[in-house]
Structure 1
Amino acid sequence: MRLAIIGAGFTGTQTALELLRRLPPGSHILLHERSGVFGPGLAYSTAHADHLLNVRAANMSAFEDDPSHFLRWLWAGDLPGPAVPPSGHAFMPRGLYGRYLAETLAAAEAQVAPAVTVERSARPVIGVDEAPDGVDLKFADGDRCRVDLVVVATGNNPPQWPFPEGLAAVDPFRLIGDPWDDGELGRIGPDDDVVILGTGLTAVDVVTLLGRRGHRGRITALSRRGLLPSVHEQTRPWKPFLVPGEDPRPLAYLRRVRDEVRKAALEGIGWRSVIDALRPATQDLWRALPLAERQRFLRHLRPWWEVHRHRMAPQVAEGIFALRDAGQFAVKAGRIRGWAAAPEGLAISLGPKGGGAAERLTAAFAVNCTGVSVDYRRISAPLVRHLLDRGLARPDSLGLGFDVDENFGLIAADGTASRRLFALGPPCKGALWEITAVPDIRKQSRAFALRLFPDRDRGTPS
């Protein structure tokens, strides 16, 4: 069997790891990653030690059925920094986790060779075409090759600038569209005022980096509600309490969560334990919601879920709050109404939350941390455009990614589900909701591999 995995960040790497455990002898994986860096992906390629994982090390194993795999790797290595405690309650640098993924992939390849082989390629895949006996991959250089199955594991798409009116008048030098590009962020001088669009974890990373660089200028983060992520604290186990299918409405879910938080408080247990208890069932709870109820959740509860579910590491929060208390960092709530050039660099018209006269904010630079683009109708990536334009895939009904069936097969424009083209990871957000964090993606990739090869397992690489 010949399989192609397009993308070798966490999703593609994780899919390769699970398949390498199960593929029969003679199989071949084509692993395509246009960056040429296999394993870390964008999320875990950062070299900054202050960019920490937002999940405890104990929960970051690459293998769902081997939960201590990452901890064993940490304990076995001669790594800088404090020792990881036996509990695994530590938030490690993201770049270190990227190294773990790269080394684990290399070990898995060595474990199965030569019976199963992996071919790594940095050639961009710009299209796929289904044939009666396989799938043809089309590369940017015009070359083609035939495989049996394709997994689209392209991860997250870059953010798009909100409210483009007036944006063309702003000097592009002042607009930093990729918050992970050190070259772009390096344009910011230590005394420059900066506006950050978004107040989520990516914005937190940018503020942290600027603070560590000794930035002296004013930093202002903007979002509709002005909510920063909550902070991780030590949690205690809390029993599952929501059953998928029972009163599938966001309002009913919210009431149950609030009831459980009150019960937990009586036992001296914080709300974080209650939210964490939802994790094993989150995808099933989402799937149980009718479409109208999913839309209602997105309209009313999504921001509150995000700030409670996706939290900052404690040491990161300390730095953020120190900058805020010093008056250097502030968060504002409102909607962007327009852009303009200004002597300082740029100006933003911000309509305050609740209405009223707009506020004019000026800065030398704006950094786009609004989050990944999920509306595939607006994404210009060649492979996405090819799949949609050829009718091989369609956007899901919520505009959060590709439409997929229960086996993660891409659903074509005519409503038929493919048995050769699959999507895993963030492109499945509309179907699964929680599918961006390591625990969720490793669960999905394992389920996918087990459906293909239920009776084979070589075990995890040491």
Structure 2
Amino acid sequence: MNALPPARRLRVAIIGGGFSGAAVAWHLAWSHRPAHLSISVIEPRPLLGGGLAYSSKEPAHRVNVPATRMSMAPEDTQHFARWLTDSGELERDADAIWKNGDAYPRRRVFGRYVAEHLAPYLNSGVVHHVEGSATRVTRDASGAGWTVHTPSGPIGADIVVLAATHPQPAIPAALIHLAEAPGFIADPYAPSALAGIGPDASVLIVGSGLTSADMVAELDRRGHCGRILSLSRRGLR
């Protein structure tokens, strides 16, 4: 970075504006002079910082580690915890406090924390949100830079950071014949995906990871009291 001419702004294109992409943008903007840096974050969602993990509107979806272990600033482990207290978020969400005093806020709250810290750099123009998807990346003819292609036009960059999310899991081959069957939910994070499940319905969850935990928590919030069976290849929860 220091090898660039003084008048030259380093152009950074970040593909993906969830936590990873937003955190990279924040750290770059925070640690460099605005005159030396131009950051473009390509993200189709209207708000940076949430991404797939931290944009859920379901109140039962919470972070899966204590707030004191989540921070945008690695050298300051209380960064998020202080923001939680100062924002009054914990006062509005008594269920966030576990029996041992640890705080587990809603996931969208962590997304808002990231967005609020990035906002000053968006307002100043150091970080630019390109609301769309990157369709491809090509090397410049000179070999000295890159072009990120988006529906709104090409974006030139000296450095490209890939911070895209993983794709939605495909339906397992053994269950593909159920794709159109009533009661089969392929995307549990789709809006109101669980709304049609009756309170006494028997539910089978294929998988026992964090998504499974999210679904159990949401069903509980919706008043479900029927049987829930979770299948796991490894027998772990």
The DSSP-based 3-state class of the residue aligned with 1:155 is coil
Partner of 2:186: 177
Q: Does 1:14 align with 2:26?
A: no
Q: CA 1:30/1:57 → structure 2, altered by over 3 Å: closer, same or farther?
A: same
1:352-407: CA deviation from partner (whole Å, max 9, x where unpaired): xxxxxxxxxxxxxxxxxxxxxxxxxxxxxxxxxxxxxxxxxxxxxxxxxxxxxxxx
Please name the residue that 1:138 is paired with.
Answer: 149
Relative to structure 1, is the Cα distance of residues 88 and 147 closer, same or farther in structure 2, using a 3 angstrom cutoff? farther
Matched residue type, 1:147: A
CA distance in 2 between counterparts of 1:121 and 1:185 reads 32
**Normalising by structure 1, what TM-score?**
0.44
- 1:22 Cα offset (Å): 2.3
Letter in 2 for 1:127: R
Task: Output one character per residue of 1:64-85: Cα deviation in whole Å (capped at 9) or x when no partner.
Answer: 1222211221221222134979
Q: State the one-letter code of the partner of 2:78.
A: S
2:84 corresponds to 1:74: yes
- CA shift, 1:16, in A, is 0.7
| Aligned equivalents of 1:185, 1:146: Cα separation in 2 | 43
Cα offset, 1:196, TM superposition: 1.0
Name the residue aligned to 2:6: none
Q: Which runs of 5+ in 2 are unaligned?
A: 1-9
Shift of 1:33: 0.8
- Structure 2 vs 1, CA of residues 166 and 196 (structure 1 numbering), >3 Å: closer, same or farther? closer
The 1:172–1:151 alpha-carbon spacing in structure 2 relative to 1, beyond 3 Å, is farther
Residue type at the aligned position of 2:14: I
- Name the CA shift for 1:173/1:28 in 2 (closer, same or farther; >3 Å): farther
- Aligned-residue Cα RMSD (Å) equals 2.5
Q: How does 1:201-350 map to 2 (within 5 A)?
A: 201-228=210-237
Pair 1:122 & 2:131 matched: yes
For residues 86-132 of structure 1, the C-alpha deviation after alignment (integer angstroms, 9 at most, x for no partner) is x973222212111111111113545xx36xx1111222111000121
- Provide closer, same or farther for how the CA distance between residues 172 and 70 of structure 1 changes in structure 2, counting only shifts above 3 A: same
Greater C-alpha radius of gyration: 1
Unaligned runs of 5+ in 1: 229-462
Which residue in 2 is equivalent to 1:23? 32
Q: 1:173 to 1:38 in 2, by over 3 A?
A: farther
Check whether the contact 2:23–2:72 (CA below 8 A) recurs between aligned residues: yes
Matched residues in 2 for 1:166 and 1:76: separation? Answer: 47
In 2, Cα distance between equivalents of 1:11 and 1:225: 29
How many matched pairs?
221
Higher helix share: 1
What is residue 56 of structure 2 aligned with on the other side?
46
User: Stretches of 4+ moved more than 6 A in 1?
Assistant: none
Q: Is 2:78 the partner of 1:56?
A: no
Identical-pair percentage: 36
Change in CA separation of 1:173 and 1:149 when aligned onto 2, cut-off 3 Å: farther
> SS state of the match for residue 65, structure 1?
coil
- In structure 2, the residue corresponding to 1:205 is in which secondary structure? helix
Confirm or deny: 8 A CA contact 2:122 2:129 kept in the other structure. no
The CA deviation at 1:222 is: 1.0
Residue 317 of structure 1: aligned partner: none
* 1:93 maps to 2:126: no
What letter corresponds to residue 136 of structure 1 in structure 2?
T
